[in-house]
Homo-oligomer: A and B are copies of this chain.
Amino acid sequence: MKCRNIGMAGKIAGVDNNPDHCREAIELQLVDEMLPLEAAVMQSEIIILAVPVGALVQLLPQVLDLVTTQVVIDMGSTKSMLTQLVQDHPHRGRFVAAHPMWGTEYSGPSAAVGNAFEQKAVILCDTAASDTDAVNIAKELFNGLSMRIIEMDAISHDLHAAYVSHISHITSFALANTVLEKEREDDAIFEMASAGFESTVRLAKSNPDMWTPILMQNRENVLDVLNEHISQLRKFKSCLEKENWEYLHELMSNANQIRRIIQ
């Protein structure tokens, strides 16, 4: 809806394999009409690919085969595999690799939130491989949505994404499993679960169909971060085992420096 408001979309066509999602998208007025992929690509000037990254590696080459002067922008959470995949495609220049840093644990048309992207960051990757006019159109779009544009190469993107997004999901999934494993017989936890708990396990509601391919494509970075995270947790464990309260305090004081990053 917001693309309409900023004059970047006269008409919006949607494409979705799921008939329920097609109906919802129309009902929620997210799109003007639903079309088959090829028809939608032919009629459009800007094509936004917002599918799980496992599907994206199938879809992007297919769409690039169809385009001539259109601009194709993806919304995927991983970038290295995708950009490598299409690096020699004759229409590579029409593609702009983008990752808007916003999402929730929900998916599908009903998970859409108006103005969600406002003031959020969007990462544009390897823009030198895109045609200048395509990059400018993508920037106009994201600027129009009041996003902060950050440019970096796809390899750096995937490394940083492992830290600021992918590891958070793994810790949240693992925390949920920890609690479900131990507390399966007990209702107390339902009653006691507080805002702090909810905050740390919220992401555990995320869709495995979306997250399996993200972790698959960013496997090496995620493994590095996960190893580091487990070793950080072992420091806490060691403090508790050895009753080293001074070092425990120090670990937590150090963690407080995260205030530099989040408000």
- Which residues on A are within 8 Å of B, measured CB to CB? 101-104, 120-121, 123, 148, 150, 152, 156, 160-161, 163-165, 167-183, 186, 188-206, 208-209, 211-212, 215-216, 219, 222-223, 225-230, 232-237, 240-241, 243, 245, 248-249, 251-262
Q: What separation, in Å, do the CA atoms of A229 and B180 have in the docked complex?
A: 11
B150 touches A192 (CB 8 A): yes
A194 touches B240 (CB 8 A): no
SS class, residues of chain A in contact with chain B: helix
Q: What separation, in Å, do the CA atoms of A248 and B203 have in the docked complex?
A: 15
Q: What separation, in Å, do the CA atoms of A171 and B179 have in the docked complex?
A: 13
On chain B, the residues within 8 Å of A172 by CB distance are: 200, 255
B232 touches A237 (CB 8 A): no
Q: Which residue of B lies closest to A206 (CB)?
A: B252
Q: Would you give the shortest CB distance from A129 to chain B, in whole angstroms?
A: 20
Could you name 7 residue pairs across A and B whose Cβ atoms are closer than 8 Å?
A103-B194, A103-B195, A120-B194, A150-B188, A198-B262, A204-B258, A205-B256
Q: How many copies does the complex hold?
A: 2
On chain B, the residues within 8 Å of A253 by CB distance are: 208
Q: Would you give the shortest CB distance from A247 to chain B, in whole angstroms?
A: 10
Q: Would you give the shortest CB distance from A61 to chain B, in whole angstroms?
A: 22
On chain B, the residues within 8 Å of A123 by CB distance are: 192
